[in-house]
Homo-oligomer: A and B are copies of this chain.
Amino acid sequence: MDEVRRHPERGYVILDVLHRRSLETLVAQLGIAGLTEADLDYLTRGWHRLHPWRDSVAGLTRLKSKYIISPLSNGNVALLTNMAKFAGLPWDLVMSAELFAHYKPDPETYLGAARLLGLTPGEVMMVAAHNNDLEAAQKNGLKTAFVARPTEYGPLQKRDFEATGAWDIVATDFAGIADRLGC
C-alpha cells in the first residue's frame, strides 16, 4: 500500500491484487511448489472470509439503530462486501479506499467518506483499532473512537495495545461504543 501511495503515477491497485503479489513473493521465497491457480486464489481471498470479533455484530447492530454504519477500509469493495456477507456484518454501505483511489492515511479517504455521506467531517466518526488511522482521521476533522484488539497481530503484536491519542471515545469493545453513543 505504501508503494501505491508513493507512486500515484503508476495508478491505483486494489488490495486483492497487492495480497496476491505478496503471496506470490512468499511462495517463491519459501520454495513452495504445487500450488494451483485455484489454491493461490483461495488463499488470496482469505481476507474475504475473516471471522468477526465476538462483539462486532451485536455492537454494530446497536449502532445501526441510530447511525449510518460503514467500513472505511483499505480493503477493496468486493473484499469488504464478501467479508460482510460471510461474517454477517450489518453495514449500511461499504466505503473503501478503492472508491477514492487512495489508501489510508491519505486525506482523500477520510474526506471522501464524509463527502459521499453528504456530511461535514465533524459529523463522521472513525472507529479503529489502529492509533495511526485515528490520528489521520482526527487531523482531517473526523471524530474518533478506539477499540483495542490486543491479539490482532498474534503473539508478535508490538503496538496498538492501548489508545495513544486524545480520541473522543476509548472503549474495550463495540458494546462500549454503543453505550457511549446512547444506542
- Chain A residues within CB distance 8 Å of chain B: 16, 68, 76-79, 81-82, 84-85, 91-94, 98-99, 116-119
**Closest beta carbon of chain B to A112's beta carbon, Å:** 10
- Count of chain copies: 2
Known A-B contacts A116-B98, A118-B16; the reply to A68 vs B85 at CB < 8 A is yes
Q: Chain B: which residue is nearest A95 at the CB level?
A: B77
Are A118 and B76 closer than 8 Å at their CB atoms? yes
Are A116 and B85 closer than 8 Å at their CB atoms? no
Contact partner of A117 among B77, B92, B118, CB < 8 A?
Answer: B77
Are B117 and A78 closer than 8 Å at their CB atoms? yes
Known A-B contacts A16-B118, A99-B99, A118-B76; the reply to A68 vs B81 at CB < 8 A is yes
Q: Chain B: which residue is nearest A14 at the CB level?
A: B118
